[in-house]
Chains A and B, each alone.
Chain A
Amino acid sequence: GQQVMQIPQYQHVQEGEDFTTYCNSSTTLSNIQWYKQRPGGHPVFLIQLVKSGEVKKQKRLTFQFGEAKKNSSLHITATQTTDVGTYFCASGAGSYQLTFGKGTKLSVIP
């Protein structure tokens, strides 16, 4: 698989503040996927990025794939308590299974 490192491991923010998590690799990634896992829940697919420099938005969430396809980020604008959970990036293509990052656990203080 294609190894990915995620930072930070934990993030505590005040409600209304922005949040960003980063996913990095030493090798060029074929694609990057982002998942969200609510407390007590299971990982749920959010989005996939494939193209170099790609940017996609889902309401307050902005996903970016780096120009070199070695990093990606997920940015949440004006966090809400419903954003609480762990955000995972994952990468895989061809004959390789998805490799998940360790995740960033987001806590939102009301």
Chain B
Amino acid sequence: DAGVIQSPRHEVTEMGQEVTLRCKPISGHDYLFWYRQTMMRGLELLIYFNNNVPIDDSGMPEDRFSAKMPNASFSTLKIQPSEPRDSAVYFCASSFQVGQTQYFGPGTRLLVL
């Protein structure tokens, strides 16, 4: 199994630009999670999906952030417009069950100038 796949691995953009992060979960996992990690705030859960349906998006910081999961093998996290304070590492993770082991992707390191 290839594990959770994320792209791009690195993204540098200018303030105001749209950023789209992509994730392919492990096949057969019904749950997909998006996290943001910074030095100041640690690992924060942004949103998670069950069978492609968003279950809890209370961690999404602002309306500038949106996430979709059009099918079981693909999810996107979009930031529009991006701001310097969005600079962070964004992880996608998947699991069989909601409270069980999560498998993290390699992350996308986002820098907004």
Contacts and interface: CB of A to CB of B under 8 A. Distances in A.
A43 B91 contact: yes
A97 B43 contact: no
A100 interface: yes
A78 interface: no
Contacts of B105: 42
B101 interface: yes
Contacts of B103: 45
Contact of A42 (B48, B56, B106): B106
B48 A33 contact: no
B70 interface: no
Contacts of B107: 42
Q: Is the interface of A mostly helix, strand, loop or mixed?
A: loop
Given A42-B107, A97-B48, A97-B56, A88 B99 contact: no
A12 B42 CA distance: 19
A110 interface: no
Contact of A94 (B42, B48, B99, B104): B99
Given A42-B91, A43-B43, A96 B104 contact: no
Contact of A103 (B42, B91, B98, B104): B42
A3 B31 CA distance: 20
Given A42-B105, A43-B43, A43-B104, A97 B91 contact: no
Contact of B98 (A31, A33, A43, A92): A92
A44 B104 contact: yes
Interface of B: 31, 33, 42-43, 45, 48, 56, 91, 93, 98-107
Interface of A: 30-31, 33, 41-45, 48, 88, 90, 92-98, 100, 102-103
